[in-house]
Amino acid sequence: MTAVDQLLSVRNVEQRFTARGTGGLKSGVVHAVSNVSFDIRAGETLGVVGETGSGKSTLARAILQSPRPQSGEVVFEGAELTRLRRRALVAARKNLQMVFQDPFGSLNPRWRVTDLVEEPLAGFGVRGVARRQARVRELLELVGLDPDTHGRRRPRELSGGQCQRVAIARALALNPALIICDEAVSSLDVLIQAQVLNLFEQLRRELGVSYLFISHDLALVRQVSDRVAVMHLGQLVEIGPAQGLYQRPLHPYTAALLDSIPGLDPVTGRARRPAPLPGEPPSPLHPPSGCRFRTRCPLAQQRCADEEPALRELAPGQQVACHFPLDQQGSPFRDAKAS
């Protein structure tokens, strides 16, 4: 990827939090995001998947500098966000927006829809009430809401899908180059999910918007993403083109995630039951040495405990952080269950 192609470049980002126990005493450090690096091209959708607690949302907030990461670089449109002061950072965020998981919690319940969508326009100095109102109507129509019908309503008077459309309209108000979707459709029913996903794709085609799409739904991520990044316990363990990664995962953890999806056996046509991961997830307060997945990996050896694996490219565009990556022999978890 050339510098011209790069919209967002994340390098060696680390985010840690102090955990406090009884009486407010420090009980340890949570390693939420550890040495994560990736790029997003202009017009691309990068999906991020992983178990709950893998650091997906923390990574999104680190990119937004809310809060700033402890170390690493976040370069967006050529600007190093971690070094920007307040006014410069606010200006950079004009082109970097976020759609949150809870469509009701992300909107002020006392404001009307038109006020919610107009807020970023007023905040970034778009002058003229008539100009802002015209832009609000345009945005509401773009996301499939009638300004005359829905504009004067408050969030409590809308459905979940309508609220999420309002949040998307607000995120699009300033014509951002990148939108971070943090579980943006997880709280919606299947039909509304499909409508919102179709809207995202339409906006990408028409406006050239890029997305960082965070979700725990692997099937959904495959549907919308050009590339997929897999996170485990704060680390990036695999990244590559969506089709290649889903057809031939290289990391045992990626294979385990895919095995957790119910489906049909392609050979017998029978229902395939999920193959659960053995053991308990390690604590982010005390992550294992070396590879953080080794305590649940059937392929783990002493090297996995002694040496932390680095990302390396083993297939075109597909990188994996594993000392003993998978071949075409299938999932080690299903093999272990069968034996």
At residue 288, the pLDDT reads 92
Pairwise CA distance, residues 224 & 213, whole Å: 8
At residue 124, the pLDDT reads 86
At residue 260, the pLDDT reads 81
For 23, the token pair is 């009486």
Question: For the segment 236-274, what is each residue's pLDDT rounded down to a tens digit?
Answer: 999 999 999 999 999 999 999 988 877 766 677 777 777
At residue 75, the pLDDT reads 96
| CA nearest neighbour of 154 among 211, 104, 206, 83 | 104
| CA nearest neighbour of 220 among 176, 188, 249 | 188
Pairwise CA distance, residues 94 & 31, whole Å: 29
In sequence order, what DSSP letters do the residues of 190-239 get, joined into one string? HHHHHHHHHHHHHHHHHH--EEEEE-S-HHHHHHH-SEEEEEETTEEEEE
* Rounded CA Rg of the chain: 21
Proportion of the chain in helix, strand, coil states, percent, rounded to 5: 35, 25, 40
| CA nearest neighbour of 326 among 258, 271, 273, 261 | 258
At residue 338, the pLDDT reads 44
Pairwise CA distance, residues 112 & 110, whole Å: 7
At residue 339, the pLDDT reads 42
Pairwise CA distance, residues 62 & 237, whole Å: 18
Start-to-end CA distance of the chain, whole Å, equals 43
For 334, the token pair is 């299903």
At residue 226, the pLDDT reads 95
At residue 337, the pLDDT reads 47
Pairwise CA distance, residues 332 & 337, whole Å: 9
Pairwise CA distance, residues 158 & 91, whole Å: 31
Pairwise CA distance, residues 247 & 255, whole Å: 10
CA distances from 328 to 251, 255, 335 (A): 12, 11, 13
For 48, the token pair is 């991020």
Cβ atoms of residues 40 and 7 within 8 Å: yes
HSE-up (13 A, CA, CB side) for residue 124: 19
- Which segments of 96-141 are extended strands (E)? 96-99
Q: What is the pLDDT along the chain (339 residues), one digit of tens a residue?
A: 555 578 999 999 999 998 877 666 677 888 899 999 999 999 999 999 998 889 999 999 999 998 899 999 999 999 999 999 988 998 888 899 999 888 788 899 999 999 999 999 998 888 899 999 999 999 998 888 999 999 999 999 998 888 988 998 999 898 899 999 998 887 777 877 787 788 888 888 888 889 999 998 888 899 899 999 999 999 999 999 999 999 999 999 999 998 887 776 667 777 777 777 777 888 888 899 999 999 999 899 999 999 999 999 999 999 999 999 997 545 565 554 444
